[in-house]
Amino acid sequence: MIEFYTAPTPNGQKVSIALEEMNIPYNVHAIDIMADEQKTPEFLAISPNGRIPAIVDTDYDNVPIFESGAILIHLAEKCGQFLSAEPGTKATVLQWLMFQMAGVGPMQGQANVFNRYAPEKFPYAIDRYMRECRRLYEVLDRQLAKTEYLAGDYSIADMATYPWVKIYEWTGLSIDGLPHLQKWLDRVTKRPAVEEGMAVPIKVDMSPDRVAEAGISARKILI
């Protein structure tokens, strides 16, 4: 059983998608990051960085795991799906997973902060992160021109990347001129497990209005 600590953000959704795709039993613990529940001693004992998502795997001596990429790798190896054991294929999956972890997620997260949440607009920062997001999307599009999914077969790399690209309009980005990325989005969206995973959890309000009311800082919402 997986005890799953999460909030309705792309980083949380990538893990809930994986849990649904892999058909792994899990219990959801909705973390209200607006109320600083991710900063409690109890949660920090599971996730020392004070960020969601995090899991506790009761099948492995209650081992706690934080960082979404590490969680995805653990779950894929646990169930023997979506991450090949063949070294070359595995490396391909992991490189696109790391591309999301080091590129798409952080850059689009910063774009969201400066374009959507920051109380004061900084045109240089907005332009810098929006242009970098577009560049990263173009990299994805070129890869998807060659393969249906990022690493050939559907994998944890797609699960990690999808929730971020899915919100491109909300971020203020466009995918015009990126037909392969659009087809990939449509393809992944139609997967039943993706639809289920994107709806987890349902108890935490992350709307921009609540963010504004709570006076959430840019640093706080970068999860």
Q: Where are the domains of the chain?
A: 2-81+197-221, 87-191
**If you average pLDDT over residues 64-79, what whole number do you get?**
98
Residue 221 has pLDDT above 50, yes or no: no
Residues 6 or more apart from 109 whose CB is under 8 A from it? Answer: 222
- When the candidates are 1.20.1050.10, 3.40.50.300, 3.40.50.1000, 3.40.190.10, the CATH number that belongs to 87-191 is 1.20.1050.10
**If you average pLDDT over residues 154-166, what whole number do you get?**
98
Q: What is the pLDDT of residues 101-144, one digit of tens each?
A: 999 999 999 999 999 889 899 999 999 999 999 999 999 999 99
Owner of token pair 């077969």 = 153
Instruction: Tell the CATH topology of 2-81+197-221.
Output: Glutaredoxin (3.40.30)
**If you average pLDDT over residues 161-185, what whole number do you get?**
98
Q: What is the pLDDT of residues 31-41, one digit of tens each?
A: 999 899 999 99
Residue 208, pLDDT score: 54
C-alpha–C-alpha distance, residues 16 and 72, integer Å: 10
**8 Å CB contact between 164 and 108:** yes
Residue 202, pLDDT score: 75
Residue 220 has pLDDT above 90, yes or no: no
Residue 217, pLDDT score: 34
Owner of token pair 């490189």 = 95
Percent of the chain with pLDDT over 90: 87
**8 Å CB contact between 15 and 200:** no
Average pLDDT in the chain: 92
Residue 215, pLDDT score: 43
**If you average pLDDT over residues 171-191, what whole number do you get?**
98
Taking the model in full, what pTM does it have? 0.90
Residue 52 has pLDDT above 60, yes or no: yes
What residues pair up with 57 in beta bridges, in sequence order? 2, 63
Residue 142, pLDDT score: 98
Percent of the chain with pLDDT over 70: 91
Q: What is the pLDDT of residues 85-103, one digit of tens each?
A: 999 999 999 999 999 999 9
